[in-house]
Amino acid sequence: MSDGSKPAVPAYAQQHQQNRLPFESMGNVLLDAMQGTLFCLDNSNRIVGVSKTAKRYFGFEQAELLGISILLLIEESEKDAFSKFLNSPPQ
């Protein structure tokens, strides 16, 4: 507003804001809803985060995958190509 005052927030909007998930939880909800698996890697290609669906696709719990190299989950015949992909510059 031009006078510097904040616009009034309707009661339903205030209630909606109170019922919102925190940002960190929202990410977990989105990951859980995925029909694939998402891995978050550090600069050394070690797994620092993984969606819960990893159990379904790989047979490992999330905690078992944290800290290991993603390359341990890749078939031997695909490792070279996957390593090149991981190390290629962003486009």
pLDDT tens, residue by residue, 30-52: 766 767 788 889 989 999 998 88
Contacts of 61 (CB under 8 A, 6+ apart): 54, 55
pTM for the whole structure:
0.61
Question: Which one of 3.40.50.2300, 3.30.450.20, 3.40.50.970, 3.90.226.10 gives the CATH number of domain 21-87?
Answer: 3.30.450.20
Contacts of 79 (CB under 8 A, 6+ apart): 71
Distance CA 90, CA 81 (A): 16
Task: Give me the chain's average pLDDT, please.
Answer: 78
- Per residue in 45-79, pLDDT (tens digit) is 999 998 888 888 889 999 999 999 999 999 999 99
Instruction: Give me the pLDDT at residue 90, please.
Output: 77
Q: Where are the domains of the chain?
A: 21-87
Residue type, 72: L
Residue 91 pLDDT > 80? no
Instruction: Give me the pLDDT at residue 8, please.
Output: 62
Helix (H, G, I), strand (E, B) or coil at 50: strand
Tokens of 90: 């962003």
